[in-house]
Amino acid sequence: MKHDAMLVIRADMINRIDAIAAQRGHIRLSTMCEEVDRIRHVARSYGMEPLEQLASMLESALALDGHGPIVLSYLDMMRDAAACEDAAPQASATYMAAMSLRMGA
């Protein structure tokens, strides 16, 4: 039963991420920040560490750069992390490394 509940949570997170991506360019920065913060809080509550960390990184990027083109890269990576069942620290490190490569850092 716990596995089924997590599938529902993961699907909800993916739907929220897709909703942000669909509105990109038409969503206020403050609204986007609120939505990303909600995702981060849910991810933290359910032990989805990779998703939580990526959402936190996106919040920081939004604070620095606003709606820049990097948002879609973060959302893509967050979607992958939301679908991932592995919440181990190694998974988080892998996602952070992949995001760094994607950003050219």
Any idea which residue has 């933290």 for tokens? 44
| pLDDT at residue 104, as a whole number | 67
Does the pTM exceed 0.75? yes
Residue pLDDT, tens place only, 95-105: 778 777 777 65
- Of all residues in the chain, the percent with pLDDT exceeding 70 is 95
pLDDT of residue 37 exceeding 90: yes
pLDDT-derived band of residue 32, with 50, 70 and 90 as boundaries?
very high
Q: Which domains does the chain have, with CATH numbers?
A: 2-103 (1.20.120)
pLDDT of residue 2 exceeding 80: no
Q: How far apart are CA 19 and CA 23, in angstroms?
A: 6
Instruction: Assess contact for 82 and 74: CB atoms under 8 A.
Output: no
Residue pLDDT, tens place only, 38-80: 999 999 999 999 999 999 999 998 888 776 778 888 999 899 9
